[in-house]
Structure 1
Amino acid sequence: MTRRTRIFIGILLIYTAGIAFLLYRVVSDIDPRYRESAEESLVETSQLVASLVEQDVIAGAINTARLEPLFRTVYAREFSAQIYNLHKSRVELRVYVTDRSGRVMFDSLGRNLGADYSQWSDVSRTLAGLYGARTSRDVDGDPRTSVMYVGAPIRWNNEIVGMVSVGKPVQSFGQFVEDARGRTIWVGVGSALALLLLTLIVSVWLVRPFGLIRDYWTWVRAQNRVGSLSLSRMARRAVDGVRTGFNEMRDALTGRNYVADYVQTFTHEVKSPLSAIRGAAELLQEPSMPHAERERFLKNIERETQRIQEIVDRMMELTALETRRTLDRTDAVALGPLIEDIVLSAQPAAAKRNIRLLVNIRDGARAEGDPFLLRRAISNLLDNAIDFSPRDSEVLLTLETTSKLARVSVRDHGPGIPEYAQEKVFQKFYSLARPHNQKKSTGLGLAFVKEIAALHRGRIELGNASRGGAVATLTLPLLAASHH
């Protein structure tokens, strides 16, 4: 995983964590807000019932005779009320009345007549002239049986002679709470996904408004001219275009800047050869330098200049490749003949150290792609294998296929890849010294191969072989009809 990808994933994780925290705060605040609303309603109801009871107070004595038939009738009423998603068909309100000592004189449910409620906060505080409320459970340990109570004083001649407490089961409005939580979560998640989708659309259609469409239309016309257009290939091309847009969005979010990145790496890489050139130039100014020494320093300058030129050329190639969204044109590439031709071209370099190039093509295969780029990719892998192979050894190129994939493997019998380098081999400018001359390459070859593989919807892997040496495997999707 590259550093930029890790940064992009980090941004997504921070964004997700922020949305999750916001949803948590909103969802956790729903229940208290509903309780506040329910309690406010109970305050008014308790004051109403207390005023009703006060009408029958005689000489400070509370008379609850009219309440019993009233609530018997209320509980027996038949009705049907559809409150949004909640269907209500019975009254769940409950009321009890206590005297000034806190003993229950009336209970609408008929359960606790004569009970001492003086210790309940709604009773004790109301009888003391304060606001009293509580939430208690009918069944210990079962939060679903919680009931919210609010008290109101019963007065006679400005003296508190008792109290009324009006209760309502929390579960009656708990359904609204659960429904609100569910809707809030869905709206939050939907909004977050919509924002991500909008970001992608902005990246694809506003940042690069016509480029992807133009490239796709150009490709369709080119394929139609050669008669190789099919619905499956058009769909794959469209998916590639969307993936390219996503990558551009990722690069924009992570601040990908090719100029700054390459200036930094280029400065680092050319510092060594420039130092060598400057040192040689200073020594050449000595008039007494022998001719042989002068020739040696001139060759050093020429060699280091060539190295800088090679770095510049490879950087320009890699930059041009990385900025391509998709392949401009594709052909059906026969991989077997391509590999044989690459091996034939590499024979002279291998023969210098008596390295034998072996080919094992187990199956004919065709891939859709750019023949020039695929040749460059496989040639680069073969050149690396030759460079790291000992004298009088072998390099084996293998082509094998599965139902949908073609695998081109290049195996050498060199020292393999050190453990410390296995995570770095595809990084730009990272290179290991060649065993036979201890020289390093530009370190851009494998990065070049990786970009070619990505453009062809494939992948490149490099690891150590089981019996020594290294093996590089380029995996490519087969052309739709090549494996039938």
Structure 2
Amino acid sequence: MRPRTAASGATSRRTRIFIGIVLVYCAGIALLLYRVVGDIDPRYRESAEESLVEVSQLMASLVEQDVIAGAINTGRLEPLFRSAYAREFSAQIYGLHKTRVELRMYVTDRNGHVVFDSTGRDTGADYSRWTDVRRALNGEYGARTTRDIASDPRTSVMYAAAPVRWGDEIVGVVSVGKPVQSFGQFVQDARSRTLWVGAGSALALLLLALIMSVWLVRPFGLISDYWRWLRRQRDLTFGRMARRAADTLRGGLREMRDALTGRSYVAEYVQTFTHEIKSPLSAIRGAAELLQEAGMSEAERTHFLANIANETQRIQDIVDRMMQLTALETQRALDRSENVALAELLHEVAAAAQGAAAKRQIRLHVNIDSQAWVEGDPFLLRQAVSNLLDNAIDFSPAGAEVALALHAGPREARLTVRDHGPGIPDYARDQIFEKFYSLARPHSHKRSTGLGLAFVKEIATLHRGRIELANAPRGGTIATLTLPLRSPG
């Protein structure tokens, strides 16, 4: 059986998450569309009913004009509706072409018996039990919806009634009706449009879900990392837990950002790396070809062998730094964290660099105005300061001084490394922290791997700090590593 790799496990997890997102989203969209589409018909009915109420009141006022001694006279209603039904017209109402009047009306007396029916079908019928008539005779608002054919919902007709008054007495009811089918085309069109919009939105958001599903693998890792960190701690405070959570979340956001630019980021990384190792590889190949020639003196042979060893070491340095930097960039938060005394750290770094500084007669001076503690990884912080100090030594002229200083403010500590070299050229200020970007050393005219300052920047970010490089007022460069303070104890 083929073993399950970490990559296939991550892919499987992303697939499951994506399927879960799709199912949840589809269920949500389906429920939303069901509610919206189901609500379209009632909204159109409400609009139609509002119009029927006004028409019924208007017709009731008309009928009241012909009430004599409490008796309703419907003599002029029949020719009115016969003429209306016979009218020929053409009205294009958006997608509906209307050619005939479909409005209905009937009138009842005070007992609920029909004295006029515009359709001519139910004159003389007892409508006293219909809701619209019964409520209107009681002086209330009455309405109903009834099917002409009980088994066919498409024959439904909406009615709204108004009382016919003679003085203070209700002597009858006027009820105006409209077939639901007359505005059913609007309902159908609105439903179709809603479904198309919903389907289009669903497809667009599913594409977004596909992208987000890749990212959502991250939060599970964030929670797992945070939980592992909690289990390793012996002394926990709310402040430390909140800071750790913020660091972990910040790391996850960086991963999301990198996921967006992942392909171009990797392509740029590989292209730059290839460019950087091309020069040492060419030097190694050239030296190797020359070594194959006959008649070369021992001194020349030793020189070219030394070149091969130096260029090989340079490639090794680039690879090692790249691996360290990549490990930092994929780290969401610090794996280990403890109280770090910055004064002691500066003294340790200065002592370790004494040998390299002495070779070029460079004096190291450490100035600490007050003790300061930060929460972090002492190994990474030591590497960051060492990188800054190595740069200062490399760019300082022989016999100069490099100053390391620690200044503690109310909330932050500033570690500075000052040299008296040529400073940062104007053209390099915006690129100084870019990977593989390096300036030639004044004494050797050689360049470094160009990864040191990028490495320091990543360490500063992991410690919620920042790194800045600037030209000093009286020449040279001053590097400032700023870190948030942590109280001792």
Which bin holds the TM-score, normalised by the shorter protein? 0.5 to 0.7
**What is aligned with 2:323?**
316
Deviations 1:81-138 (A, max 9, x none): xxxxxxxxxxxxxxxxxxxxxxxxxxxxxxxxxxxxxxxxxxxxxxxx999xxxxxxx
- C-alpha deviation, 1:455, in angstroms: 0.8
Match of 1:203 among 215, 218, 221: 215
Q: Does 1:255 align with 2:262?
A: yes
- Partner amino acid for 1:413? H
| Alignment equivalent of 2:231, drawn from 221, 233, 250 | 221
Distance across 2 between alignment mates of 1:230 and 1:257 = 41
Match of 2:376 in 1: 369
Cα distance in 2 for residues equivalent to 1:257 and 1:219: 33
Unaligned runs of 5+ in 1: 1-36, 53-65, 67-128, 132-187
Are residues 480 and 203 of structure 1, via their aligned partners in 2, closer, same or farther at CA, if it must alter by over 3 Å?
A: farther
Match of 2:298 in 1: 291
Tell me if structure 2 keeps the 8 A contact 1:199–1:249.
no
Tell which structure's C-alpha radius of gyration is larger.
2
Residue 268 of structure 2 corresponds to residue 272 of structure 1: no
User: Is the partner of 1:437 in helix, strand or coil?
Assistant: coil
1:159-178 matches, cutoff 5 A: none
SS at match of 1:396: strand
- Aligned residue for 1:344? 351
Letter in structure 1 aligned against 2:231: R
- Distance in 2 (CA, whole Å) between partners of 1:476 and 1:256 is 32
Shift of 1:312: 1.1
Whole-angstrom distance in 2 between the partners of 1:213 and 1:480: 27
Task: After superposition, give the CA deviation of every residue in 1:151-181 in whole Å (9 maximum; x if it has no partner).
Answer: xxxxxxxxxxxxxxxxxxxxxxxxxxxxxxx
Question: Equivalent residue for 1:392?
Answer: 399
CA distance in 1, matches of 2:256, 2:309: 43
Counterpart CA distance in 2 for 1:245 and 1:254 is 15
Q: Distance in 1 between matches of 2:344 and 2:308?
A: 41
Cα distance in 2, alignment partners of residues 459 and 199 from structure 1: 30
SS of 1:472's partner is: strand
| Moved >6 Å (runs of 4+) | none
Written as runs of structure 1 = structure 2, the 5 A alignment for 1:67-466 is 199=212, 203-204=215-216, 206-207=217-218, 209=220, 211-224=221-234, 228-255=235-262, 260-466=267-473
Q: Name the SS for the 1:288 alignment partner.
A: coil
Match for 2:313: what amino acid? Q
Q: Deviations over 1:370-395 (max 9, x none)?
A: 11100000000001001101112111
Does the CA contact (< 8 Å) of 2:422 and 2:475 recur in 1? yes
How far apart, CA to CA, are the structure 1 residues paired with 2:271 and 2:277?
Answer: 10
Alignment-mate amino acid for residue 300 of structure 2:
E
Partner of 1:61: none
- The size of the alignment, in residue pairs, is 322
SS in 1 for 2:332: coil
Q: CA deviation at 1:208?
A: 5.0
Deviation for aligned residue 1:368:
0.5
Matched residues in 2 for 1:242 and 1:396: separation? 36
1:237-293, Cα deviation, whole Å (9 max, x unpaired): 111222222222222122257654443222111100111111111111111222222
Q: What is the CA-CA distance between 1:316 and the residue it aligns to?
A: 1.2
Name the counterpart of 2:114: none
- Unaligned 5+ segments in structure 2 are 1-43, 64-88, 92-200
Q: Secondary structure at the match of 1:395?
A: strand
* Contact kept? 1:336, 1:361, Cα under 8 Å: yes
Q: Is the 8 A contact 2:251 2:331 kept in 1?
A: no
* Conservation of the 8 A alpha-carbon contact between 1:413 and 1:468: yes
Distance 2:376 2:441 in 1: 31
**Identity of matched residues, %:** 63
C-alpha separation in 2, matches of 1:349 and 1:245: 39
Cα offset, 1:48, TM superposition: 7.7
Say which SS state the counterpart of residue 463 (structure 1) adopts. strand
Evaluate the alpha carbon distance shift between residue 256 and residue 369 of structure 1 in structure 2; reply closer, same or farther with a 3 A threshold. farther
Mapped to 2, the partners of 1:311 and 1:255 lie a distance apart of 22
- In structure 2, the CA distance between the partners of 1:428 and 1:299, relative to structure 1 (3 Å rule), is same
Counterpart CA distance in 2 for 1:207 and 1:399 is 37
Instruction: Check the 8 A contact 1:431/1:443 in 2, yes or no.
Output: yes
- TM-fit CA distance, 1:360: 1.0
Normalising by structure 1, we get a TM-score of 0.58
d(CA) in 1 for partners of 2:264, 2:383: 26
Give the residue type in structure 2 aligned to 1:296: H
3-state SS, counterpart of residue 432 of structure 2: coil
Give the deviation of 1:203 after TM superposition.
Answer: 2.4
